[in-house]
Structure 1
């Protein structure tokens, strides 16, 4: 492992259910990846917010996904065999009034174990003003909580899925500078406020998991082997894009998106 921060990361992750402020990119590197994203958005014709597997659309996202410092941090939690189950940019535009309610990631994913970690890599400042994530320390240890589908218009989550009566006095803000990473457990309760800043809040979000994790809802889904070995073969491997905006890769991405949405609606 490259430094002491990574070396103690696993211990802190399993104690608190999250870690934040892990250095992955320099500020200059984060700025380059942001510029490449926004150039791709101009060609795409709109925001890349929640576009699943953008690494199949343009190769900057693929390079970011495979960053060795990012994978070092994930390995400290999951061990040497790592799959990427999904990746997407999560973007809050400045002045956007939408928020994310208290929820747990694993509730609707249809996976059989919690050997996963959600990684969030900041490409712009993620502050309390811009709506950084807020975590409830230790909440991963209580397991799955009841969610109510409120379907509120100001909620970014598709169902407005919400854990009610959360003690917000115990929440911790996971603020990040550009280039910093947070990791959180699939049962960690988290939420975020609207972006009240004058800049976009841009994060690259990846769900990593052990290859042993099985999908219970869909017969076959796709994943990417990032490190180590996959001796289970529960997922179809995704090819690596060789060019930006390749029509075949974009069509594949849309099919994967269709399958994943079916999982979320069924779980």
Structure 2
């Protein structure tokens, strides 16, 4: 299987003709989200919090992740390296397909939904690494820009242990100029957008374990270093509408989670 943990190079992405403009979301008759929530997503770029899993259910997911993390780190990985997990681990594939997650996503993206990404972002106590201000769409060889990220809290996430933060409304500004991050910045990612406040208001995204937020792929967001004595783990789940096209072989990551894929562009791999 191709190693999808390798981020496409800037030259590879620049060679693609991508539509990186915001496409307003929402369906005429939403099943889960309210019209106010959909309007909030379109204007502010996110919707949160969504109550998805009970304490017992998220406790089971956390226990599964604890065991998975121990296995991965014993093999030389780290707490950020569990990526494209739905292609390797059946329980993560099941979460990607959970109707409680797909229902609100489909209210934003429409009847035909592809789940294509799953990545644990786990900041250990005193981790020291920040996630600099960035747009998800910068990293993805996808077009048009009709994709969202669901951030499922595995642990409680608040400002003390470095919950996510957004620049509300920044998703409407288009694709932004970024600079490469250097090693001195202790950034989990390799891009940084400076002076984010020029694009909108700073909003924090605290979530209890079992809650989730959904944000647009063009929304400027990040998180600070976890200097607390508590872990902060979230599972990011990536979805797009089935009419989105993926270059560089990324269509192999896609699983049809709702409706159909009329063109057959996405590979729709079976549960691992």
Which TM-score band applies after superposition, normalised by the shorter structure? 0.7 to 0.9
138, 154, 169: which one aligns with 1:107: 138
1:85 Cα offset (Å): 1.6
Structure 1 position 68, deviation (Å): 1.3
Post-superposition offset of 1:40? 2.5
Cα 1:110–1:219, aligned 2, differ >3 Å: closer, same or farther? Answer: closer
User: Are the counterparts in 2 of residues 37 and 60 from structure 1 also a CA contact under 8 Å?
Assistant: no
Change (3 A) 1:222 1:61: closer
The gaps in structure 2 that reach 5 residues or longer are 1-29
Q: Give, in angstroms, the shift of residue 239 of structure 1.
A: 1.9
Of 55, 73, 87, which residue of structure 2 is paired with 1:27? 55
Is the partner of 1:187 in helix, strand or coil? coil
Match of 1:213 among 220, 244, 247: 244
Q: CA deviation at 1:62?
A: 2.2
* Cα shift readout 1:153-185 (whole Å, capped 9, x = no counterpart): 40000x2x1111221882100110001111111
Alignment partners' CA distance in 2, 1:208 and 1:95: 31
Query: Structure 1 179/2 Cα, relative in aligned 2: closer, same or farther at 3 Å?
Result: farther
Q: Flag the 1:73–1:50 CA change in 2: closer, same or farther, 3 A.
A: farther
Distance, in Å, in 2 between the alignment partners of 1:7 and 1:30 is 28
User: Does 175-184 or 11-20 show the bigger shift?
Assistant: 11-20
- What is the DSSP-based 3-state SS (H/G/I as helix, E as strand, rest coil) of the residue aligned with 1:194? coil
Q: TM-score, normalised by structure 1?
A: 0.83
- Give, in whole Å, the separation in 2 of the partners of 1:6 and 1:31: 28
Aligned to 1:87: 118
Shift of the alpha carbon at 1:124? 0.4
Q: What's 2:195 paired with? A: 165
- Structure 2 Cα separation of the partners of residues 72 and 42 of structure 1: 32
Where does structure 1 lack aligned partners over 5 or more consecutive residues?
242-267
- Asked if structure 2 preserves the Cα contact closer than 8 Å seen for 1:7 and 1:76, the reply is no
Residue 233 of structure 1 deviates from its aligned partner by 1.9
Q: Write the deviation string for residues 18-43 of structure 1: whole angstroms up to 9, x where unpaired.
A: 11211111122111100011122333
Question: Is structure 2 residue 155 aligned with structure 1 residue 155?
Answer: no
TM (normalized to structure 2)?
0.81
Match of 2:226?
195
Alignment of 1:42-53 (within 5 A): 42-44=70-72, 45=74, 47=78, 49-53=80-84
User: Is 1:135 the counterpart of 2:163 in the alignment?
Assistant: no
In 1: Cα distance, 2:106 partner to 2:113 partner? 7
* Contact 1:132/1:175 (<8 A) preserved: yes
Question: Is 1:126 equivalent to 2:163 in the alignment?
Answer: no
* Count of equivalent residues: 238
Among residues 30, 33, 36, which one is paired with 2:64 in the alignment? 36
CA separation in 1, counterparts of 2:239 and 2:250?
Answer: 20
